[in-house]
A = this chain, B = another copy of it.
Amino acid sequence: MTHRLLMLPGDHVGPEILAEADKLLRCLMADFGLDAELEYANLGGCAVDAEGEPFPRSTQRLAEEADALILGAVGGPQWDGLDRDRRPETGLLAIRSALGLFANLRPAILFPELVDASSLRPDVVSGLDILIVRELTGGIYFGQPRGIRTREDGTREGYNTLVYGTDEIERIGRAAFEAAARHNGSLCSVDKANVLESSELWREVMESLAPAYPNVRLSHMYVDNAAMQLVRDPRQFDVIVTGNLFGDILSDCAAMLTGSIGMLPSASLDERGRGLYEPVHGSAPDISGEGVANPLATLLSVAMMLRHSLDEGALADRVERAVGRVLADGHRTADLAGPGVASIGTVAMGDAVVNAL
């Protein structure tokens, strides 16, 4: 059966790195039996420019028909002044919500070749391999009521609602327990249950799920302590599960620990395994158009897609091995090259991976 893949290049370096994903996929189709067809659509700032809104109806229709989606990155300073409903980020939130992509998987892996790129001491991070499972379609990102209103005394207040139902917590909890069972068997649920009632319910539901996963050890940690422990000794963690906002903060922190933010993929999955795959890094307006962006996070996102949505685990392994070989051979984009080390551009790095397949 032909897999329908939707490519969403997005803004700034997005199209540059997605061109490398396209190249990789066409190679897998031509030489390794991948049966897929690629379509393209607009999301983010480019969609605002072309169609007047960040998540156009045309994109939504194609997205709903796709088996998997690959996104470059959205956003940039030229759209910052727009109203909230026309901002690129709003398009990203809208596609997550419309497709029900509630489970965001963000691995934070230290590539042995890149240990010197981390700002942490090698003895603290070497071998780091943790996975953050972030709830992506609920919590304070989507809670109602929200807005800015004028109070009786004439001053204004801004307000947002953090809300989680037991059904939402159970759904992300199950995804996390399953991920922990595949990983190293321990799951740390992060909340702020000593202050927030929404976290109190979160913790209770996580506990209620534990008996169904006897091979997974569940623990709990407050979010402030989790931020400290990630810095102090990140390898104490295996899989972390948390809500939308805490996951936003902690997953970026964890990604930066590895020093290889240009290397980290992510998956956002719905209940049936359809997913949107994207690099953890953003649209990097400061280097866009220069052909120097690191495409490896995007190529590793393709690998995640092959494994999680297309059931092509062997091809996923092949892509990941090719990336490992390219690094071992000393190829580096500018973000990975230490002082005095020669670097190659986006296209050359994509070529190197394709050649190493």
Contact = CB atoms under 8 A, between A and B. Distances in A.
A212 interface: no
Interface in A41-84: 84
Contacts of A119: 120-121, 124, 231-233
A237 interface: no
Contacts of A161: 159-162
Contact of A165 (B156, B165, B194, B227): B156
A230 B249 CA distance: 12
Contacts of A251: 224
A166 B162 contact: no
A159 to B, nearest CB: 4
Secondary structure of the A contact surface, majority rule: helix
A167 interface: yes
B194 A89 contact: yes
Interface stretch (A5-13, A146-154, A285-293): A146-154
A200 interface: yes
A160 B196 contact: yes
B224 A249 contact: yes
Contacts of A166: 155-157
30 contacts: A84-B200, A87-B194, A93-B195, A119-B124, A140-B196, A155-B167, A156-B165, A157-B165, A158-B164, A158-B196, A158-B199, A158-B200, A158-B201, A158-B202, A159-B164, A160-B162, A160-B163, A162-B162, A192-B248, A223-B248, A224-B252, A225-B252, A227-B249, A227-B256, A228-B252, A229-B256, A230-B253, A231-B257, A249-B249, A253-B253
